[in-house]
Amino acid sequence: MTKPYYADYVNRMLRFYSRKDPIYKTNIDEINYKCVDKVLGKLSPSDKELIMDVYKRGDTLADNIYQVSKERNINQDKIWTIVNKISKAIARERKLI
């Protein structure tokens, strides 16, 4: 399965959001931050914490998901499903799709 065209952009948005003290260099950074905040605000606290744990790490997305799944004893497929669902919701909120 190929990844959607918006995947890299949304991944960057989520990585930016997961920083402790994000600094807005442009107006777009602030817009992206607010979009992610709106979508993640609708999640359960446990799902939001899971997403934040995946994206705050410095490795590739696949490696981060692997590490989080091992640490939390959660199936990787479940994490991938959550990540894909959230990515699509953020892309919609940002009007990328």
pLDDT in tens, 11-60: 999 999 998 788 889 999 999 999 999 999 999 999 999 999 999 998 99
CATH of the domain at 19: 1.10.10
CB-based burial label for 43 (10 Å; 0-12, 13-18, 19+): middle
**What pLDDT is attached to residue 1?**
63
Q: Residue 61 domain-assigned?
A: yes
**What domain range includes position 46?**
7-93
Q: How many domains does the chain have?
A: 1
* Residue 1 counted as domain residue: no
Tell me, yes or no, whether 2 lies in a domain.
Answer: no
pTM: predicted TM-score of the whole model, two decimal places? 0.88
- For 50-60, how does the pLDDT look when each residue is reduced to its tens digit (9 = 90+)? 999 999 998 99
